[in-house]
Chain A
Amino acid sequence: MAVEISATSKLWRFPGGIHPPERKAPANLNNIQRFPLPPMLFIPLHQHIGEDGELCVAVGDYVLKGQPLTIPGVNNGLPVHATTSGTITAIHEHPLNHPSGLTGLTVCLEPDGKEAWYPRQPLNNMDALSQREVLQHLQAMGIAGLGGAGFPTARKVAGAKNIDVLIINGVECEPYIASDDRLMREHAKEILAGSHILQKLTFAKQLVIAIEDNKPEAAAAFREAIEQFSVTADFSADGADPAGSAARTNRQPILKIVPTRYPSGGEKQLIQVLTGKQVPVRGLPADIGILMQNVATAYAVERAVNHGEPLLERVVTITGEAVKNPGTAWALLGTPIDYLLAQSGFKPGKKQRVIMGGPMMGFTVTNLQIPVIKTTNCVLAPTHKELTPPQAEMACIRCGACEIACPASLLPQQLQWLAKAQDYAGLKQHHLADCIECGACAYVCPSQIPLVQYYRQAKAEIREQTIEQQKSEIARQRFEARQARLEREKEERLEKHRKAAEARKAAQAARQSEATATEQDPVKAALARVKAKKAQQTAPAANTESPQGPAGSASQTTPEHKVDQKTDQKDAVAAAVARAKAKKAERDRLAQAENNNEAEKPIAAKNAPDHDKKDAVAAAVARAKAKKAERERLAQAENNASTTNTKGSDNG
C-alpha cells in the first residue's frame, strides 16, 4: 500500500472544511521587507518542543551572529543562537509567546548593528556525509518545523523510516497569513533545493510540493524552479545518494495544486487530499510512508546546509486593518512584536486585539513585548469591525452545522455538551483527542458557541488528570517493584541454598548411576534389541533414542531407513528424543552431570555409524542414566520436559 502521487493523480476531499474570507491581500502584495535592526532582541531559551539547552553565555558577553547561546541537553534538544551580533545586557524572565502570558528565561541581546557572523560551516560535500552527520548539522543549526508546533526537523527525519513521499507543504490555508506565499514567490529555487536535501535525508521516493489554488504566483514560481532544475539536474550522477537508493528515488518534484478550503494545510488534511489516506489514530504520517515539511523549513534547511547559517530569522506577516502598511517582513528571532507593528504603522484602537497567528487558530496576546520565535508566522491586529469580537453565547440549536464543518469528522455539538458536563469518559469516547482545534466548528456555529474554547479547557483538564494518574501510577509501580524486589531477593537466597544442596545430591547420584549402568548393561541391551526388532528399523530407532542428536539429523545420516517410517513411529521416536533431550538439559544444569555427559558423547558418536548392536548398547546406557537422573528431577524440570516434548514431535 505504498503511497504514490503523480502530477495527474486525483485529489481527494477531506470531510467538512470552510471558506472563511481569505484576506491575504494586501499583505501578500509586496516583497518581503527587511526592517532596521530592533533596539533589543529577546531570545527565549524555550522556543520549540523539546528540553531547553544549557545556557553557555553570560550577561555582558559579546556574541556574534549565529553564535550558539545554549548547549542542547541530552534529549536531542535544539540550541538557540544569537540572531545578530551584539552584547548580552540581561538574562531574565520575559513574557513568552504563549496565550497565558507565561514568562520564561530570555537572553536580552542589544544589537551592535555590525551583523558580524560567527564562523559558518556549510556542508559542501553533503553527499559524502552520512545521514546522521547531516542531521547532526541540522540539529546544531537549530532547524525546527516552521509551519506547526516547531518540532526539531532532524528528529522528525531521523524518526521516519520507509518514507515513500516527502510532502512540502506550501498550502498556508489560514486567512490573512502570507508568509509562505511570499517566501515561495521569492525563493522557490532555494525551497526546492532544501526539499531535495530533505528528500535525500529521508530517502523518499517522491517529492511533492503542495500549494493552494489561491496562490497562482507561488505555483508559477515553483513551476519555473522545477523546470530549471530538470534542465540542470544530472539524474545519472545521483548515485552518491547515501543509501545508494538513487535507482528508486525519483528526484523530479511534483507540484500539486489543491483547492482552497480551510484547513487543507493541516498535516492530516493535506495528506488526505493528496493520497486519500488517513494518518492512523495515535500514529504518525510516517506510518503510511509520508513525511511532511513546511516550505519555510525547507528554505531553512537549504540555508543551513549550503550556507552554514543557523535558523536566525523567518518571514512574519504583519497585517490587519489596525496597521497602516500590512505586509511581510524578515524578522530576526527575538524581535518583539511591538517593533514589527510599529514598523508597519500600527494604530491601536480601543481594546485592541493583537493575534499571534491567524484568525482561526491564533491566540490573542497580553503583552506586545513577546518576541518572534521559530513558529511565529503572523501578527494580526484587526479592528473590531473587521473581525467582530465574539457575541454572547446562545443555546445550541443542534443544527449540525458544526458537524458538517468538522474536518476530523467529530461531533462538535456532542463534544460541547460533554465538555460542559465534564464527562471526560464521554469525551474520550467521542475522540476529543482527535480534535485539531482548527476552529471550523466555532466559525459556523450560529449560536456563537466558543466550541474550541470548551475543547481546550476539557483537554487541559484531562491532561492534568492523566498526569495525576500517571504520578500515582508511577508511585504504585515503584512501591510494587520494591516489594517484588524484596520478595525476589528472599527467594533467590532460598533458591541458592536449595541448589547447592541439590548439586551435591546430583553429583553423588551421577557417580552411582554410572556404576549401576555398566552393571545392568547386558540386560538392557537385550531388551533394547528386542524392541528395536519389533520396530523393524533398529538403527534409526536406537540412534534417535540416544540423547545426542536430533531426530532429523539422525535420519538424514541414514537415508536408507528413512523411506518407510510411519508417522506414529516417528512421533514415538521424536517423543523419546525429546524426553531424552529434556533429561539431558536437566543434567546440563548440574555441573557434575555435565561432565558425565561430556565424557559419554564421544562414545555414542563413535557408535552411531557402527553396528546396530553397539548403538543399542549406547542407547541403553543413556536410557539407564536418564532414568536415574529422572528420579532426581524436580517438578520444574518436568514442565520443561513436556514443552520440549511437543517441540520434539514437531521436529519429527
Chain B
Amino acid sequence: MSFYIASSPHHHQRRTTAKLMQWVLIAMLPGFLAQLYFFGWGVILQLLLAIAVALAAESLCLLARDRAPSTGLQDNTAIVTAALLAVSIPPLAPWWIIVIGTLFSIVVVKHLFGGVGHNIFNPAMAGYVVLLISFPVQMTAWMPPTGLATQAPSFIDSLYLFLFQFTSEGFSLEQMRRVDTGAMLDAVVMATPLDHLKTQLSQGATLSEAMQHPQFTGLAGMGWQWVNLGYLLGGLLLLQQRIIQWHIPVALIASLAFCALLGSILAPDYLPGLSIHLFSGATMFAAFFIATDPVSAATSSKGKLIYAGLIGVLIYVIRSYGGYPDAVAFAVLLANLCVPVIDQYTRPVTYGHRKEQG
C-alpha cells in the first residue's frame, strides 16, 4: 500500500486566493451597475478591454519569467486589477488610455516588482496615476450622469467614441459635452461633483454657491452617490463573507469623516462637508476595494488601522488643498510607500515576549 505523505496541517480552510478574488469581482457588481446606469455603455467597454489586455499581459509576463501562465492566471488577481482600473477611468475615454494603463499596472507595477505579492504599490492605482499625469484631459473628461445630459450616448455612439473619439454622427466627446452643458448646465467644465466644487471654490465662490448647481441633489451629487452606495453595499458583502477585515474600511471612512467634520466646522464656507466627502468621488470604492488590496496594505491589524487612517487624511488633504479634484489614487500610493515603516512599528509582541514579564 502506498501512503500519501504530507506535512501538517492536513486540514485547510478551502478559501483560495482565486476564490477571494472572485468574491471581490462579485462585490464590485452593485457599484459597477450603478456606474453603468449613470455613465452609459462606456463603462462596460472599458472593463472588457481592460480584462483582455490584463490577461494577455499577465500571460506574457509569466512566460517571460518562466512561470506557467495556467497556474499564474488562476489566482484571478489580474482580472481584479483590470476591473479596478477600468471603473476608475472616464467611461468614454479613448481605448488606448485603458490599454496603456492596464499594461503599466500589470507589467511595470506588478511583474517588474516581482509578481503577485511583491508589488509595493497598488497596481490599479499606480496605473491610474500614470494615466492621470500623462493624459489629464482625457482622464478628467467624465460625462454628466444620465438625467442631466439631454441625451445619453447610445451604445453605438459609445463604441464610436471609445474607438474613434467621434460619435457615429461625427461629434467629438468635447462637442457632446458642450451640447449637453450648453443646453442645461452652463458652468460645467469638468463633470464630477468634486471637480466642479474644486473649480468653483478656486474661482472664489462659496460652498453654498457652488452647491447651487443642479448636479448637487441628494447626498453628494447625482449619480455619484448611487455609485458610492453601490460600492458600499459590495464592501459590506465582502465584510460579511470575511473576504476583508473591517479595519481598513472603518479606519479610512472614520478618518476622512473626522477631517471633513473638522473642516466644515472650521471653514464651513470653503470646505465641502461630510456627505460630499463620503459619497462623492471614489471614497467607498477606495475604502472597500482599493485600500483593502492585501498585497500593498499593511499586514497587522494595528498597522491596517494606521495605514487606512493615513489614506483617509491624505484623501482629505489632497482634495481640499491639492491640485487634483479627487485624491484616492495619490493617497493610496503615498500610504503604500509608508507600509514598510508601518509594518516595522506595528509588529505584534510575540507570546512570552511581553515587557512586564521581563
Contact = CB atoms under 8 A, between A and B. Distances in A.
A362 B16 contact: no
Interface string B50-82: 000000000000000000000100110100000
Interface in A329-371: 348, 351-355, 357, 359-366, 368
Contacts of B204: none
A278 B352 contact: yes
Given A398-B295, A398-B299, A413-B299, A364 B347 contact: no
B106 to A, nearest CB: 15
A450 B9 CA distance: 8
B348 A443 contact: no
B9 A353 contact: no
A15 B348 contact: yes
A426 interface: no
Contact of B3 (A354, A361, A411): A354
A180 interface: no
B116 A397 contact: yes
B133 interface: no
Contacts of B16: 391, 394, 446-448
A175 interface: yes
A417 B358 CA distance: 29
B21 to A, nearest CB: 9
Interface in B287-308: 294-297, 299-301, 304
Interface size, A (range): 35 or more
A559 interface: no
B2 interface: yes
B352 A268 contact: yes
Contacts of A409: 348-351
A283 B352 contact: yes
Interface in B1-40: 1-17, 19-20
A50 interface: no
Interface in A383-427: 387-392, 394-400, 403-404, 407-411, 413
A327 interface: no
B10 A351 contact: no
A442 B15 CA distance: 12
Contacts of B297: 398, 400
B245 interface: yes
A411 B299 contact: yes
Contacts of B299: 398, 400, 403, 411, 413
Contacts of A452: 7-9
B190 to A, nearest CB: 36
A398 B294 contact: yes
A399 B10 CA distance: 21
A472 interface: no
A260 B357 CA distance: 27
B329 to A, nearest CB: 20
A394 B357 contact: no
A394 B75 contact: yes
B4 A395 contact: no
A453 interface: yes
A439 interface: yes
Interface in A1-42: 14-15, 18, 20-21
B265 to A, nearest CB: 36
B350 A431 contact: yes
A280 interface: yes
A394 B12 contact: no
Given A364-B4, A409-B348, A443-B11, A434 B17 contact: no
Contacts, number: 163
B84 to A, nearest CB: 15
A456 B7 contact: yes
A276 B15 CA distance: 32
B351 A364 contact: no
B34 to A, nearest CB: 28
B3 A408 contact: no
Interface in A258-284: 268, 272, 277-283
A22 to B, nearest CB: 11
A360 B12 CA distance: 9
B127 to A, nearest CB: 18
Contact of B348 (A283, A389, A403): A403
Contacts of A448: 12, 16
B36 to A, nearest CB: 29
A459 to B, nearest CB: 13
Among B15, B245, B300, B351, which residue has the most Cβ atoms of chain A within 10 A? B351
Contacts of A434: 350-353
A452 B16 CA distance: 18
Interface string B133-144: 000000000000
A444 interface: yes
Contacts of A77: none
A253 interface: no
A450 B5 CA distance: 13
Interface in B301-358: 301, 304, 347-354, 357-358
A382 interface: yes
Contacts of A395: 75, 115-118
Contacts of A279: 351-352
A357 B8 CA distance: 10
Nearest to A19: B13
Nearest to B68: A392
A411 B4 contact: no
A252 B86 CA distance: 68
A585 B268 CA distance: 89
A442 B12 contact: yes
A279 B19 CA distance: 39
A288 B354 CA distance: 13
Given A368-B1, A380-B10, A452-B9, 8 more contacts: A279-B351, A279-B352, A281-B351, A281-B353, A363-B7, A387-B11, A395-B117, A442-B9
6 closest Cβ pairs, A-B complex: A439-B9, A399-B294, A281-B352, A453-B7, A359-B11, A409-B348
15 contacts: A268-B352, A272-B351, A283-B352, A353-B3, A360-B11, A362-B10, A389-B6, A394-B17, A399-B17, A409-B351, A434-B350, A439-B8, A442-B12, A446-B16, A452-B7
Interface of B: 1-17, 19-20, 71, 74-75, 77, 115-118, 245, 294-297, 299-301, 304, 347-354, 357-358
